[in-house]
């Protein structure tokens, strides 16, 4: 099952100030837009002509923060509950953050998961990896629909909340299809990074899929928010604490926290870039976001990627690029990811208890126990046969379990130890993971 990537929302409504635009109100109420140099970027681009698809819980198009700029697409859960009071709570919040950054953009809401207040939330199996009647998963369907209906950017403030939510081939193929059509995809890195509070820092999809720009959450000052997951697939960071976004219940705003909001804000910045330079393919949009982020000159960090994005600097850098031809992951000349692995940073970094390794260890221990008991049984059987006069001997004893000489990689003490490598060939080909492999590279 997947969940919305919002951590500990504060339920205090903050109404939009009378006489101010949505973007101005958000700037006056929070620190997120100035932190990303969005006001300066608006002198160059306001997102006009761009459609951002929000794959989420649906959106309330009548909210004042969205009115006139939002459209609700199909419900891929195949429900008819858009009139319910709880409908679209999370998606509406994310839509407002996108429009705060890109005020002239349009948003398209596509529902693939349920809001927490949905009566079926606890028992819902229609989430990210659940198949529908025709065998296609709602998440993969929504990506394909967004691409075919004019989306330029896809924002995915959601992610798997279990170590058993594995890489899915149809979802990876839908992402590849979007990339081949020049659509930029972003996802929240996950809210499982506070291991001191018992969180497991799981590998989360869709953030871990090749070609998706993975966004961590930052606090004022640019460091990682404690809940933000730590993985080598993190590309960039954006503000993720006390983000004043649309409250579907009150019609106003409230502060929320999470990599959900960070993803939405980064999607807004991507919309500004695509609006100004529509021919830039996704890889180059990712490139300028990373190269102009807050600690790009110091190198990569598994906590915040290349740092907090800078909208103004990214748009300026985009103007210096010659657009490349969009390609799908897996095609000749394409790599497997826009971030770590393609630029010399580590493929994997240990951080707390990684559930996949725990699962592998548990399976290994179970097999070992079977070997021990099996060996013991063989020894007993052999002795019994010998006692009965049999001339055959049956070897007994536990089977040797292979030992691994290489210890697990420890967490980086210097997160900025990897300098940015010149991107002579940013699409280095790497083998695609086999169907069902978990995780594909991280």
* 366 three-state secondary structure: helix
Which ranges in 304-354 belong to alpha helices (H)?
311-318
What backbone torsions phi and psi does residue 405 show, to the nearest 5 degrees? -75, -30
For 104, counting Cβ atoms within 10 Å of its Cβ (0-12 exposed, 13-18 middle, 19+ buried), the class is middle
Rounded Cα distance, 425 and 427, in Å: 5
Q: Among all residues, which ones are annotated catalytic?
A: 56, 90, 260
Rounded Cα distance, 249 and 134, in Å: 34
Residues near 115 by beta carbon (within 8 Å), at least 6 away in sequence: 4, 57, 86, 87, 88, 89, 90, 121
Rounded Cα distance, 58 and 81, in Å: 10
CB atoms within 10 A of CB 291: 15
Q: Give the HSE-up count for residue 436: Cα atoms under 13 Å, Cβ half-sphere.
A: 0
Burial of 398-408, coded b for 16+ CB within 10 Å and e otherwise, reads eeeeeeeeeee
């Amino acid at each position: 099952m997947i969940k919305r990537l919002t951590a500990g929302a504060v339920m205090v409504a903050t109404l939009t100030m009378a006489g101010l635009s949505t973007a101005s109100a958000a700037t006056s109420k929070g620190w997120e837009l100035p932190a990303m140099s969005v006001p300066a970027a608006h002198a160059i681009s306001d997102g006009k002509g761009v459609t951002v698809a929000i794959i989420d819980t649906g959106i309330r198009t009548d909210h004042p923060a969205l009115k006139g700029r939002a459209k609700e697409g199909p419900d891929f859960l195949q429900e008819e509950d858009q009139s319910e009071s709880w409908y679209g709570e999370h998606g509406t919040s994310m839509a407002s953050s996108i429009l705060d950054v890109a005020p002239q953009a349009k948003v398209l809401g596509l529902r693939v998961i349920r809001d927490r207040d949905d009566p079926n939330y606890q028992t819902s199996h229609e989430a990210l990896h659940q198949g529908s009647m025709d065998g296609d998963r709602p998440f993969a369907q929504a990506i394909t629909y967004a691409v075919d209906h004019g989306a330029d950017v896809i924002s995915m403030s959601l992610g798997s909340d279990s170590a058993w939510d594995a890489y899915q081939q149809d979802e990876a193929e839908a992402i590849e299809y979007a990339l081949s059509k020049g659509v930029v995809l972003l996802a929240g890195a996950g809210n499982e990074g506070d291991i001191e509070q018992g969180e497991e820092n799981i590998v989360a999809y869709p953030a871990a899929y090749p070609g998706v720009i993975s966004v961590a959450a930052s606090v004022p000052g640019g460091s990682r928010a404690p809940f933000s997951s730590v993985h080598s697939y993190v590309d960039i960071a954006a503000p993720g604490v006390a983000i004043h976004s649309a409250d579907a219940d009150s019609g106003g705003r409230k502060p929320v926290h999470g990599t959900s909001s960070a993803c939405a804000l980064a999607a807004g910045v991507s919309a500004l870039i695509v609006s100004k330079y529509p021919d830039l393919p996704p890889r180059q949009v990712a490139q300028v976001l990373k190269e102009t982020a807050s600690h790009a000159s110091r190198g990569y960090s598994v906590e915040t990627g290349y740092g907090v994005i800078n909208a103004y600097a990214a748009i300026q850098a985009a103007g210096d690029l010659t657009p490349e031809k969009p390609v799908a992951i897996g095609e000749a000349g394409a790599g497997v990811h826009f971030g770590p692995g393609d630029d010399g940073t580590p493929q994997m970094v240990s951080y707390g208890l990684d559930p996949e390794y725990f699962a592998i260890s548990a399976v290994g221990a179970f097999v070992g126990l079977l070997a021990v008991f099996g060996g013991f049984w063989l020894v007993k059987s052999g002795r019994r046969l010998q006692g009965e006069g049999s001339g055959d001997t049956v070897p007994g004893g536990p089977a040797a379990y292979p030992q691994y000489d290489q210890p697990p990689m420890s967490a980086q003490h210097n997160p900025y130890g990897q300098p940015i490598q010149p991107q002579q060939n940013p699409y280095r080909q790497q083998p695609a993971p086999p169907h069902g492999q978990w995780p594909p590279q991280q």
